[in-house]
Amino acid sequence: MRAVLQRVSGAKVVVDAETVGAIGAGLLVLLGVEEGDTAGDLRYLVDKTLNLRIFEDAQGKMNLSVRDVGGAVLAVSQFTLLADCRKGRRPGFSRAAAPQIGNALYQSYVAALRDAGLEVASGVFGAHMSVRLCNEGPVTILLDSRAD
């Protein structure tokens, strides 16, 4: 699984001119599910999302997690994070999980964050979405559950 975490002062996702998810301060998470991803990959990304210290403390150091600051999460599925651009000029998406599997792991990710006590908003799996955000810092972190 791959995720892009962006520290935001606010973010929302719009589908067909309707806001389907919105948060104030917290994290916008773009989540891509790869073929072969397991519950272990899911646990890794949930743990990182909950505990990664990318928010500033009183001294201006990145020492606080989204939990520590009482932030929210906007989770948006994005299979294009699995794009293979090594050959040619058009990205290939053969590494992305099948939609049923991708949606199941995406929904499990959202549920796990909620179960941990976070406020979580989400996009609509498979929909054409417009994501609007204000990246704070800017702070943008790439996570890959399979990276060494």
Looking at 3.40.50.300, 3.20.20.140, 3.40.30.10, 3.50.80.10, the CATH number of the domain 2-144 comes to 3.50.80.10
9-58, pLDDT tens digit by residue? 999 999 999 999 999 999 999 999 999 999 999 999 999 999 999 999 99
In this structure, the strands spanning 55-56 and 2-15 are unpaired
Average pLDDT over residues 61-74: 98
Tell me which of 80, 93, 125, 140 is the catalytic residue: 80
Q: Give yes or no: 80 in active site.
A: yes
Please check whether residue 71 is in contact with residue 79, taking contact to mean a CB–CB distance below 8 angstroms.
no
Write the CB contacts of 130 (distance below 8 Å, at least 6 apart in sequence): 13, 14, 15
136 in helix, strand or coil? Answer: strand
- The whole-model pTM stands at 0.95
Evaluate if residue 117 carries a pLDDT over 80: yes
Asked if residues 84 and 93 have their Cβ atoms less than 8 Å apart, the reply is yes
Which pair of tokens denotes residue 111? 């549920």
Look at residues 51, 76, 70, 48 and name the one whose alpha carbon lies nearest to residue 118: 70
CA-closest candidate to residue 12, choices 118, 113, 131: 131
For residue 125, indicate whether it is catalytic: no
Among 6, 49, 55, 79, the one annotated catalytic: 79
Query: Is residue 6 annotated as part of the catalytic site, yes or no?
Result: no
